[in-house]
Amino acid sequence: MRPTPTRLLVLWLAASLASVSAHEVATDMVNAARTFLGSLDSAQRQAATYPLTDAERENWNFVPIARQGLPFKRTTTEQQALGLALLRTGLSHTGMARAQAIMQLELVLKELEKDTKGRRDPTLYFLTFFGEPSTEKSWGWRFEGHHLSFNFTVVDGRHVFFAPSFMGSNPAEVRAGPRRGERALAEEDDLGLAFVNSLDPAQRRIAVIADTALKEIVTTNQKRVDPLAPAGIAAGQLKPAQREKLLGLVQLYLARWRPELAAENFAKITAAGLDRITFAWAGALDRTQARYYRIQGPTFLVEFDNFQNSANHFHTTFREFKDDFGRDLLAEHLARDHGKK
């Protein structure tokens, strides 16, 4: 669908308004970050902070490993509340609910695995800061632990980037105990299945790239990602109702973040061409077996995988080809103001 001049004007206005709102998000982040950091003693603050240009900023992961930064385990209840308040400046109500549900699944895993060594612990989530929170300068921060990684970059005190981002869920469905039936990432699975099953046989032959699910998201925790090889069915090949389902799935992933950030990013995705978005599926077409899908546009990539633990273990990620870690704009900033790359 070729955008008309009127549509381009609407997109420009939407992006401009979203940018203004995103500036408010940046201000909220600065205030919450300063409040959290101000509550720390010198040892805690030293553990939590790195220079903006430190290589650790791109050293992200989503598995249960030792991390750099300050874990909630080494903070007071009041400091933990301030840390979660900071996280709320970047996430929507929906995103925050998902994140906290994922953190609490550590207690389910602790019981399932008979963990006595403290490997499964909902306080092993870390806050790490890169640079000094500022309304004028660039800085970044990360909230990360098992199955969660949120990497925020604020450039020039006003441009907020939120990729790479990861949410996972193990178990994907709690199948025993008092939390039986809980599914932290149910919509990501259900809407993906609903979309692929809305395709007619001819469309499905294009969309399904393998009968067996991929064993992991393709991009794992790579620091940089390029567009994956073209695969699947393009939005331009869909019927109107199917196209809306696909765009709804994209918006579901964006809805993890503050509405202002989601709107700004969707305007960017729209400007790059909605009909150029592709959807690819691998594996079972129902919930009984392993499955994988990805959604790719000119600017972004979504991956969903459910292979491990007898297809009861989700991994999902949202990546941006140019804007992971705010890389391009931040590089311009550093080159202009600091003579660094």
pLDDT digits (tens, 9 = 90+) for 306-326: 999 999 999 999 999 999 999
| Residues 112, 205 share a domain | no
pLDDT of residue 1: 44
**Claim: this prediction has a pTM higher than 0.85:** yes
Same domain, 100 and 211: no
- State whether 249 and 298 are in the same domain: yes
191 and 73 co-located in one domain: no
What is the mean predicted confidence (pLDDT) over 150-155? Answer: 98
The answer as to whether 335 is a domain residue is: no
In a shared domain, residues 82 and 127: yes
- Is 161 found in the same domain as 14? yes
With pLDDT > 70 as the criterion, what percentage of the chain qualifies?
92
CA pair distance 108, 95, nearest whole angstrom = 20
Q: Which residues contact 271 (CB under 8 A, 6 or more apart)?
A: 11, 15
Per-residue pLDDT at 3 exceeds 80: no
Shared domain check, 86 and 223: no
- Number of structural domains (the chain) is 2
Average confidence (pLDDT) over 182-206? 98
Domain limits for position 309 = 186-325
Q: What is the mean pLDDT of residues 158-172?
A: 97
- pLDDT of 328 reads 87
Spell out the SS3 assignment of the chain.
Answer: CCCCHHHHHHHHHHHHHHHHHHHHHHHHHHHHHHHHHHCCCHHHHHHHEECCCCHHHHCCCCCCCCCCCEEHHHCCHHHHHHHHHHHHCCECHHHHHHHHHHHHHHHHHHHHCCCCCCCCCCCCCEEEEECCCCCCCCEEEEEEECCEEEEEEEECCCEEECCCEEEEECCCCCCCCCCCCCCCCHHHHHHHHHHHCCCCHHHHHHHEEECCCCCCCCCCCCCCCCCCCCCCEEHHHCCHHHHHHHHHHHHHHHCCECHHHHHHHHHHHHHHHHHHCEEEEEECCCCCCCEEEEEECCCEEEEEEECHHHHCCEEEEEEECCCHHHHHHHHHHHHHHCCCC
pLDDT at residue 227, as a whole number: 97
Let me know: does 260 contact 21? Beta carbons within 8 Å.
yes
CA distance 258 to 91: 5
Position 339 scores a pLDDT of 59
User: 160 in a domain, yes or no?
Assistant: yes
Same domain, 149 and 269: no
Residue 4 has pLDDT above 50, yes or no: no
pLDDT value at position 64?
A: 94
Residue 331 lies in a domain: no
- State the average pLDDT over residues 126-133: 98
Query: What is the structure's pLDDT at 338?
Result: 59
Confidence at 333, pLDDT banded by 50, 70, 90: confident
Same domain, 131 and 19: yes
**In a shared domain, residues 142 and 204:** no
Mean local confidence (pLDDT), 176-183: 95
Check whether residue 234 and residue 116 sit in a common domain: no
- Computed on alpha carbons and rounded to an integer, the radius of gyration of the chain in Å comes to 20
Contacts of 5 (CB under 8 A, 6+ apart): none
Q: What is the torsional sign of CA 104, 110, 113, 117?
A: positive
19-35 mean pLDDT: 88
| Same domain for 195 and 104 | no
Strands 314-320 vs 165-169: parallel, antiparallel or unpaired = antiparallel
Amino acid identity for residue 190 in this structure = D
Q: Which of 40, 137, 55, 20 is nearest to 86 (CA)?
A: 40
* Dihedral sign for Cα atoms in the order 74, 71, 84, 22: positive
* pLDDT (mean) for 134-142: 96
Q: How confident is the model at residue 12 (pLDDT cuts 50, 70, 90)?
A: very low
